[in-house]
Amino acid sequence: MFTPNLWRLRRLSETMPEMLNLQREMNRLFSTMGQKSPTEYPAVNIWEKSGAAVITAELPGIDAEKLDISVSGDTVTISGAALQETPAGETTYLRQERGSGSFKRNIQLPFQIDAQDVEARYEKGILVIALPRVKEDLPKKIKIQ
């Protein structure tokens, strides 16, 4: 009479570690909801205009000399470093939300980029990059005869 009940308890005890692992994994998954991952820095907007892509990136407080932009095929890489602000004297942070340290963001576009004609400017914390499309990659109008 006790044999079936002991069998059930043993089966439950065998599955309990798996259930705890599942619970830990679910907690880990939902604990990061709503938070940006480090790969999403800097925040960018991208649009196409006159056969070129234009990327704007928010990079407040970054020295333009510390930014590096490279192009390879259809991918743009923006990298650099943000210096950590240290309060002077006996000042302490009440809140610190702006990150510091190095960053790197790869952005893939749906077309090849003409690396020779890329232009970039940095003003008031916004980086603007104009990425012209390779001429051979532009759509061609076919005349019907």
- The per-residue pLDDT for range 89-121, each reduced to its tens digit, is 888 778 777 777 888 999 999 999 999 999 999
Task: Say yes or no: 75 and 7 in one domain.
Answer: no
Residue 57 lies in a domain: yes
Per-residue pLDDT reduced to its tens digit, 2-58: 555 555 555 666 777 888 888 888 887 777 666 555 557 888 999 998 889 999 999
Range of the domain at 12: 1-35
Task: Say yes or no: 21 and 59 in one domain.
Answer: no
Residues 99/33, Cβ–Cβ less than 8 Å: no
Task: Say yes or no: 103 and 132 in one domain.
Answer: yes
According to the model, what pLDDT value does residue 69 have?
95
Task: Say yes or no: 63 and 122 in one domain.
Answer: yes
According to the model, what pLDDT value does residue 5 have?
56
Task: Say yes or no: 42 and 1 in one domain.
Answer: no
41-59 b/e with 16+ CB inside 10 Å = b? bbebeeeeeeebbebebeb
pTM of the full structure? 0.64
According to the model, what pLDDT value does residue 11 have?
67
Task: Say yes or no: 66 and 114 in one domain.
Answer: yes
Task: Say yes or no: 27 and 55 in one domain.
Answer: no
Q: Which CATH number characterizes residue 52's domain?
A: 2.60.40.790
Residue 144 lies in a domain: no
According to the model, what pLDDT value does residue 44 have?
93
DSSP conformation class of 127: E
Residue 109 lies in a domain: yes
